[in-house]
């Protein structure tokens, strides 16, 4: 049954189409939801994608209270999710695309289990500003905790800015998410579990619970500092993080997306 649910979510992601919440017809324990996530990602890997890291979710205490949960969630990142700097993405490839400002870690050593902040920092090679593009495959962007975990915690894409030394101070950094040059969301890095390194500590614990480990070379997204903003065609999206720098991407104009879609149909018919 879990494999069938994983295939259902994989097909929804591949076709950019929404499906009914799994929880409306299937009762899933948290362990089941993570197994569905893993099985779904295995579909992606079987097509040649490579696992490049993980993302943390519910790193905001306010978000935890809103969702009625008391723990964080973890999703997986593949190389096909990477958005290059200043790349224009086609929103036809998404269902409910939204963007969030984040801080990313690149690891130089593996991590797993119960660790301290000092141990987490010792495993970090570099830090960077980042943006995650999330996209729930569920209708109306509504889901339960197990639903979102099964759906890879809504992870769909991410862009990472310039890497900075691991010892860069990332506490209480102002973080701004901008659309077409205007600030649409703003907070500081302490909104991420009081300090982004706490998120890395939690990532090591969560991955250990799954019987795995964070590996050297992988990228870990610490979680959003603000609420996500919905994306629309023809936008320029950027994040500015105090002392860390910025990164940006854009969304293709509606006409370009229509043309791209038409070309896809023509190729398929040919």
Q: Nearest Cα to 193, choosing from 27, 60, 97? A: 60
Cβ(165)–Cβ(125) below 8 Å: no
Q: What tens-digit pLDDT sequence spans the chain (270 residues)?
A: 899 999 999 999 889 999 999 988 998 998 999 999 999 999 999 999 999 999 999 887 656 665 556 678 999 999 999 999 889 999 999 999 999 999 999 999 999 999 999 999 999 999 999 999 999 989 888 888 899 999 999 999 999 999 999 999 999 999 999 999 999 999 999 999 999 999 999 999 999 988 899 999 999 999 999 989 999 999 999 999 999 999 999 999 987 454 444 443 332 322
Measured between alpha carbons, how far is residue 240 from residues 126, 170, 234 in Å?
A: 17, 13, 20
Write down the residue that tokens 């076709």 correspond to.
15
The dihedral over CA atoms of 221, 17, 140, 20, expressed in degrees to the nearest 10, equals -100
**In which domain, by residue range, is 202 found?**
2-269
Total number of domains in the chain? 1
Residue-level pLDDT at 70:
63
Its pTM stands at 0.90
Residues 6+ apart with CB under 8 A from 19: 8, 9, 12, 137, 138, 139
DSSP 22: G
Residue-level pLDDT at 269:
29
**Rounded-to-integer distance, Cα 90 and Cα 77, Å:** 19
| Other CB atoms within 10 A of residue 217 CB | 13
Relative to beta strand 245-251, strand 88-89 is: parallel
Residue-level pLDDT at 259:
46
Relative to beta strand 219-221, strand 51-57 is: parallel
Q: The domain that contains 235 carries what CATH number?
A: 3.90.850.10
């Amino acid at each position: 049954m879990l494999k069938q649910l994983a295939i259902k979510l994989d097909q929804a992601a591949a076709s950019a189409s929404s499906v009914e919440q799994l929880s409306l017809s299937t009762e899933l324990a948290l362990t089941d939801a993570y197994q569905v996530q893993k099985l779904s990602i295995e579909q992606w890997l079987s097509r040649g994608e490579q696992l490049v890291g993980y993302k943390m979710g519910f790193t905001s205490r306010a978000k935890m209270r809103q969702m009625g949960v008391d723990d964080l969630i973890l999703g997986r990142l593949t190389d096909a999710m990477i958005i290059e700097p200043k790349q224009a993405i086609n929103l036809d490839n998404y269902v409910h695309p939204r963007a969030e400002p984040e801080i990313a870690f690149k690891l130089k050593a593996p991590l797993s289990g119960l660790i301290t902040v000092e141990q987490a920092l010792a495993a970090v090679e570099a830090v960077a500003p980042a943006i995650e593009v999330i996209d729930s495959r569920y209708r109306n962007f509504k889901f339960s905790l197990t639903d979102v975990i099964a759906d890879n915690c809504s992870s769909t894409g991410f862009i990472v800015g310039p890497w900075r030394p691991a010892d860069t101070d990332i506490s209480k950094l102002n973080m701004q998410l901008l659309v077409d040059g205007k600030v649409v969301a703003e907070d500081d890095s302490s909104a991420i579990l009081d300090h982004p390194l706490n998120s890395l500590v939690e990532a090591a614990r969560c991955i250990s619970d799954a019987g795995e480990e964070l590996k050297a070379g992988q990228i870990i997204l610490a979680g959003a500092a603000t609420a996500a903003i919905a994306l629309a065609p023809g936008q320029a999206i950027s994040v500015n993080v105090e002392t860390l720098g910025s990164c940006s991407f854009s969304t293709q104009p509606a006409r370009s997306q229509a043309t791209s879609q038409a070309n896809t149909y023509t190729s398929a018919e040919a």
